[in-house]
C-alpha cells in the first residue's frame, strides 16, 4: 500500500465515521470521492487509474455543489 493510498483509505474511514455520527447526506459525494481516490491509487499503472481519478473528480465536484449555498448557484 502506497502512502497516498493509505492516506485516502484513512480519510475515507474518517468520512464514514463522520457520516455515521452526523447522518449528513451531503457528506456522501465527498465520501465517494475519497473512496474512488483510494481505489485509483491502488492501481498499478496510471492508465488503469485514470477512470477512477475522473470518477473521483466528478464526485468531489458534486460534493462542492451540495455544500455551496443555493443563492450562489444562480
Task: Give the pLDDT confidence score for residue 74 in this predicted structure.
Answer: 59
Lookup result for grid cell 492501481: 43
For residue 38, the Cα-to-chain-centroid distance in whole angstroms is 8
Mean pLDDT, residues 35-39 taken together: 95
Say if pTM beats, i.e. exceeds, 0.95: no
Q: pLDDT for 53-66, tens place per residue?
A: 999 999 999 999 99
Distance, in Å, from the CA atom of 34 to the CA atom of 10, rounded to the nearest integer, reads 9
Domain span including residue 17: 3-72
How many structural domains compose the chain?
1
Distance, in Å, from the CA atom of 73 to the CA atom of 10, rounded to the nearest integer, reads 32
Amino acid at each position: 500500500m502506497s502512502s497516498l493510498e493509505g492516506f485516502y483509505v484513512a480519510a475515507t474511514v474518517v468520512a464514514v465515521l463522520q457520516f455515521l455520527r452526523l447522518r449528513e447526506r451531503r457528506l456522501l459525494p465527498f465520501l465517494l470521492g475519497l473512496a474512488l481516490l483510494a481505489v485509483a491509487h491502488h492501481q498499478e499503472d496510471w492508465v488503469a487509474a485514470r477512470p477512477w481519478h475522473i470518477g473521483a473528480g466528478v464526485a468531489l465536484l458534486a460534493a462542492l455543489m451540495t455544500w455551496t449555498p443555493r443563492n450562489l448557484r444562480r
